[in-house]
Amino acid sequence: MSLEELNYQIYGCKKCRLWQGAKHGVPGEGPVDAEIMLVGQNPGVEEDEVGRPFVGRAGKYLTRVLAENGLKREDLFITNIVKHKTPKNRKPYADEIAACLPYLMEQINIIKPKKIVLMGVAARQTPRIKGIEYCEVIHPQAASRFPRMGKKFQEQVSMELKK
Ligand code: SF4
């Protein structure tokens, strides 16, 4: 399956309740041969508007911290553990993650990244695949709002991803 075919499935998906409150599915974006994949929690309102991941405040913050560490956002594949926004940006429920996880696993299967960065608690539920390096960092949304978490996030990105 290609990423485009998978995206098409996500746009039309009704496997959990989240599609009902969303304008767009947000499959993720980035090169099909990306070496690094970033996985967040769920799209927010701004992401839902345009169908792209991490375009709001947290996304701008993430893009800046990546750049400070020599990484171009467009070289990475960025997605979330669920592909539709959640009501009031709440954490996805376990049944929503379980329903959506096959899309993330197929993205990993297609892209075959060397490293996967799990951002935030929800993303840590991603099953680990042998041969891929995983690391866990604070979610950029929390990091962009709370200075102490921001400092920790910057240290984590620098340690795990700096070029
Ligand atoms: S969140 Fe995932 S499983 Fe739920 S409707 Fe959207 S694409 Fe389907």
* CATH assignment of the domain containing 145: 3.40.470.10
Which residue minimizes the CA distance to atom 2 of ligand 1?
A: 100
Tell me which residues have their CB closer than 6 angstroms to ligand 1: 10, 13-16, 18-19, 25, 82-84, 96, 99-100
What pLDDT tens digit does each residue of the chain (163 aa) get?
A: 899 999 999 999 999 999 999 999 999 999 999 999 999 999 999 999 999 999 999 999 999 999 999 999 999 999 999 999 999 999 999 999 999 999 999 999 999 999 999 999 888 899 999 999 999 999 999 999 999 999 999 999 999 987 7
Token pair listed for 77: 């594949």
What's the domain count of the chain? Answer: 1
User: Cα separations (Å) of 143 from 49, 51, 70, 147?
Assistant: 23, 23, 19, 7
Give the domain extent around 122.
3-161
Q: Residues for the chain: how many in total? A: 163
* 8 A C-beta contact, residue 37 and residue 118: no
128 CA from centroid of ligand 1 (Å): 21
Which residue minimizes the CA distance to atom 3 of ligand 1?
A: 100
Q: How far apart are CA 45 and CA 79, in angstroms?
A: 15
Say which amino acid occupies 92: P
108 CA from centroid of ligand 1 (Å): 17
pTM: 0.95
Q: Among 8, 18, 125, which residue has the most ligand 1 atoms within 8 Å of its CB, making it the best to mutate?
A: 18
CA 129, 52, 59, 82 torsion-angle sign: negative
